[in-house]
Structure formats: C-alpha cells, structure tokens
Amino acid sequence: MPPTTATTHCIPQDINAQLCVGLEVHVELATRSKMFTNAPNLAHHHHYDAEPNTLCDPVVLGMPGVLPVINQDAVEKSILVGLALDCQINRFTKWDRKSYFYPDLPKNYQISQYDKPLCFGGSIDIPAHDETDTPSDTTKKIRIIRAHLEEDAGKLLHEAPGGKKIDHSIVDLNRAGTPLLEIVTHPDFTSADQALAFCEMLRNICRFLGVSECVMQRGHIRFEPNINVIIERAGQIHKTPIVEIKNLNSFKALHGAIEYEHVRQVEQWLETGQVMSSGSKSTRGWDDEHGVTTLQREKEDAHDYRYFPDPDLLPVTISDEWLETIQKQMPQLPHDRLRKYVRDYHLPNKQANALIAEREVCYFFEEVVSEGVDPKRSAAMLLNSGAKRANEQNCLISDIGIQPKQIKQIIELLDEDKIGSNAADELFGLCCNSKSDAEQLAQQHGLLQVSDHGALNDYINQVLENPKMTKAVEDIRNGKNQAIGALIGQVMKLSKGQANPKLVTEIIKNKLQS
C-alpha cells in the first residue's frame, strides 16, 4: 500500500493502541429492475451508461399515491449472499421506513429493514495476519451481525458531465431505488490488512454468486469502516469514540482510511482526552488526494431515524421450499476453490488468488484442467501468455479468444519437443485469433522444431567448420560445456530458429566429447 499522511506520525512507545474495526459493506445487486419498482436498475450491465435521471418512474420519485412492489430476485440474491456467509435466514422479515432528509433521497425516507433483517448471525474465515500483518497459514473468524436489504439513494454530482467545474451540485436519481444489500460485521478486525482481506473475499463471493458485478468505480460495492482504538497506558484502558468513514469505493481508500484513523485517534486522545460515550460517534470522509479523513457530522443514533414498519409493504415469509430452491443455486465459493487449488493442484497461493479474482477466468482455468492438462502448467500458461494478451486487449483472460483444447495442444507440442518455449508463446497468440488446431497453426507459421537428425547434422557441421568457432570447439572437447551455447546459437541462426536445441546439444556433445 502506498504511504498515507498517517505514516508521517507515530504512536508514542509507551502507548499500546489496539485498533478495533467493524465494517458495513453496501453491495448493489445486479437485478434487471429496482428494489420496489420495475424501473431499470443502474447496477445491471445493460444500463451502465444511462443518461442522468433517465432510470426513474413515479415510485422512484416518491410521487403521491404510488405503491412499492417487492423485487423477488433481489430477495433471492440477498439470501444467497447470506448463505455464503453462513448466516441464518429470517423466515419472517419485514420492511421499515428510515426517515432522513438528503437532496438525493426523493421520498425523504429510505425503505430498509430494522429489527427483522433478512440474514443474521453468520461468520466467515479470512486469512490471518501475524503481528507484522504478514499473511499466515491460519485463519481468523469474522462474525456477521446482519445482512439486510434496502434501497439505495441517488447521487450528487459536484461537477458537470465531462469534468467541467460548477458552483452547485447536480442530483442524479438513476441510482435511487437500486436494491442494496448491507452486510454488517462485528468489530473483529484489528488491522487494515484484515479488513482488506475480508472485503476482497466478499467481493469475490458476490461475483461468483452472480448477485453483483462489484465494479468499485461504479459504486457497486462501497465500504464504511467503524473505527476506534483501545488505548492502554500506565495500566489504564481508554476507548476512543467510534468514527464511521463514509462511502469508500476502493481498496486503497479503505486501507488508507483505517491506517490514518488509527494514528489520528490516538493523537486526538492525547490532545483532548476524549473517550467513548453516548452521542460521541461521528462520521468522516476520506480525502484520497491528501490521504486524510475529514469531519462530516456527528452520527445519529437509531432513534433519530424514526424507524417504523412500512405500511405499503407486506412482510415476507421464507418457506422451506423457497429456501431449498435458492440453496440449489449455490456454486462452489471462491475461498473453497482457493483451498482446492493450493491443496489439490499444488498451486502457489499467489497464482491461486490470481485465478479466483475473476469468476470467468476461474471457470476458464477449470475448463482447461478438465481437458486433462496439468493444473500447474495450465495456471502458468494462463497467467503468463494469457495475461499478456489480456493486458494488450484490455479484457479478461477468458475473453482473449483461445480455446481450452488449444491450450492442451500447445502443452502437448511442448512435451513432444515439437516446439520450444518461445514458439509456444507465439503459438498461444496465434490461437487467440484462430480456431484451428495448434499444430496446424505451428506448421503454417514455421514454429515446429526441426528434429530430423540429418538436417541437424548439416547445420551443426557447417558451424563446426566455421573458423570463428574453433576456440569454442576446442573448449567443448576439453570439457567446458558452457561453450556449447555459442554453437547452439549459430545452429539456431542457420535453421531460422527451428532447430530442436535439446537434440542439437546432444549431437554436439556426441561429436566432440565421445
């Protein structure tokens, strides 16, 4: 992580300052329509580029007389996430109005869930970190308090389209009414790295479940850490007031904000002596440019929102049959795949994490393995030759055009010494633009190695007869095998790179060292 302003300060050595962080993670669900109306959903990929204020209807705008209707798909997607987090599912859940005024909240209230959340009481294990925040082989259990379903608010734009500066704000209600799942954890994190690991895992889970694309630049997943510090000094324990950092939409911002607050709260306590008390909670924003948090407002308590059951919406009862139908949609989750790749496929942790980072890449890798290809070689080829083409095309590895059977064919050609490693990479690129068999493409483009002993002997004899190679020849005769490289280079030049270097080496040794 890049350094933040917080790294220019330090906590006094006589203070033990234990970080204490809980997370609220907001996930926009990629349903086709919004939470309580059939207006198109901005979080669905079909509507990513909609013009401002074009995904609205009377329900979104809170017009008099309109009635909300529950989006069943949003409920089912939320239950899937709850099951993935080992939550209990409330068989009876209801909807509540959360009242507050904000310019991008047309109704002046948000339909949410207060005392009967859809999911509650779960947990998930994340990779643990030691005292230096280095990942270890053990895990740390993160407890989930609840995951409740609500509708998102709109968005305030502080610059005109195209980045033009303005002296006012523009309200865009396209996001208003989007199904929003809020996942709330216990304050179980003791470092920024732990919080980051959890959020990365949660994003991957949501992607694998197909409930959200979790594109952070589009606000599909947003993080709000609740942070305070337990300070021990001279045998006394002091707890700083809780600070909630609002609407972080990148892992860099999440990590930076937590690390900054860790130091800032200790410095504030040293200056003011303020500790946790009723009404002391505040919210702050993150200034990404300067790497600091800034005060926004004192935090409301639950009673300030005046929650009450929404009179226009019936409660939802989750039957055994419905829950069983949802459970059947559950795929193998990314963290389970990670364990399988490391334990059964013997992949390095870094490679395994790279493969599960994108759902489609993970599925593509498994297709290659299902062709009978060694998992370690499949992973290496995808994360080297595949990643190079994906970067060039600005797409996922799974979208570069090569087929699993072609990858198998390339590896077979390598095993049979029909191509070398450089030719294999070039052939990989050719396969991205053709459905032909790999060997056919290698033949067409002159990539197959020459392994005919007669042809190789001709090349080698020409090199051995070259006066410029006399010293190298003598060195090899005297057992200095490192000199073989010079002869092989000349043979490869004569053969236009097609000579089999392994056979060339054997023939030269037989000729000069027998």
With b meaning 16 or more CB within 10 Å and e meaning fewer, what string describes 299-324?
beeeeebebeebeebeebebeeebee
In a domain, 478, yes or no: yes
Residue 453: predicted pLDDT: 67
In a domain, 182, yes or no: yes
Query: 3-state class of 413 per DSSP?
Result: helix
Query: 3-state class of 253 per DSSP?
Result: helix
Is residue 281 located within the same domain as residue 358? no
Q: What is the DSSP string of 56-110?
A: --HHHHT-TT------HHHHHHHHHHHHHTT-EE-SEE--EEEE---TT-TTSEE
**The domain boundary residue, chosen from 321, 353, 369:** 321
Rounded Cα distance between 389 and 365, Å, is 15
Is residue 427 located within the same domain as residue 475? no
Residue 114: predicted pLDDT: 96
Rounded Cα distance between 310 and 316, Å, is 13
First to last CA, the chain: 58
What's the alpha-carbon Rg for the chain, to the nearest Å? 30
Rounded Cα distance between 28 and 153, Å, is 11
On the 0-12 / 13-18 / 19+ scale of CB atoms within 10 A, 108 is exposed
In a domain, 329, yes or no: no
CATH number at residue 486: 1.10.10.410
Domains held by the chain: number: 3
Residue 5: predicted pLDDT: 43
16-28 and 292-298 strand pairing: unpaired
* DSSP 8-state class, residue 246: P
Rounded Cα distance between 309 and 312, Å, is 9
Rounded Cα distance between 405 and 108, Å, is 57
Torsion of CA 399, 400, 405, 406, to 10 degrees: 180
* DSSP 8-state class, residue 436: S
Q: Is the dihedral of CA 119, 125, 126, 128 positive or negative?
A: positive
Q: What are phi and psi of 343, to 5 degrees?
A: -75, -50
Helix orientation angle between 470-477 and 501-513, rounded to the nearest 10 degrees: 70
pLDDT in tens, 54-96: 999 999 999 999 999 999 999 999 999 999 999 999 999 999 9
In a domain, 327, yes or no: no
Query: 3-state class of 149 per DSSP?
Result: strand
Is residue 293 located within the same domain as residue 411? no
Is residue 288 located within the same domain as residue 356? no
Q: Is the dihedral of CA 327, 329, 331, 334 positive or negative?
A: negative
Is residue 170 located within the same domain as residue 96? yes
Ranges of H-type helices in 433-496: 438-444, 453-464, 470-477, 484-494
Is residue 461 located within the same domain as residue 437? no
In a domain, 438, yes or no: yes
Question: What are 271's two structure tokens?
Answer: 């200056």
**The domain boundary residue, chosen from 298, 321, 344:** 321
CB 363 within 8 A of CB 399: no
Q: What count of residues does the chain have?
A: 514
Is residue 155 located within the same domain as residue 295? yes
Q: What are phi and psi of 232, to 5 degrees?
A: -115, 120
Helix orientation angle between 192-209 and 359-370, rounded to the nearest 10 degrees: 70
Q: What is the DSSP string of 327-377?
A: HTT----HHHHHHHHHHTS---HHHHHHHHTSHHHHHHHHHHHHTT--HHH
Is residue 312 located within the same domain as residue 461? no
Residue 509: predicted pLDDT: 74
Is residue 351 located within the same domain as residue 500? no
Amino acid occupying residue 334 = P
Query: 3-state class of 287 per DSSP?
Result: strand
Tens digit of pLDDT per residue, the chain (514 long)? 444 444 456 888 888 999 999 999 999 999 999 999 999 999 999 999 999 999 999 999 999 999 999 999 999 999 999 999 999 999 999 999 999 888 889 899 999 999 999 999 999 999 875 544 444 568 899 999 999 999 999 998 888 777 788 888 889 999 999 999 999 999 999 999 999 999 999 999 999 999 999 999 999 999 999 999 999 998 999 999 999 999 999 999 999 999 999 999 999 999 998 898 877 889 999 999 999 999 998 766 666 789 999 999 999 999 999 999 999 999 999 999 999 999 999 999 999 999 999 999 999 999 999 999 999 999 999 999 999 999 999 999 999 999 999 999 999 999 988 888 888 999 999 999 999 999 999 988 888 876 656 666 776 778 777 777 777 777 777 776 777 777 777 767 766 666 777 777 777 777 777 6
Residue 136: predicted pLDDT: 52
On the 0-12 / 13-18 / 19+ scale of CB atoms within 10 A, 244 is middle
Is residue 433 located within the same domain as residue 465? no
In a domain, 415, yes or no: yes
* DSSP 8-state class, residue 467: G
Say what the pTM is: 0.83
Amino acid occupying residue 312 = D
Is residue 122 located within the same domain as residue 13? yes
* DSSP 8-state class, residue 384: I
Is residue 292 located within the same domain as residue 340? no
Query: 3-state class of 296 per DSSP?
Result: strand
Range of the domain at 222: 5-321
**The domain boundary residue, chosen from 399, 417, 444:** 444
In a domain, 328, yes or no: no
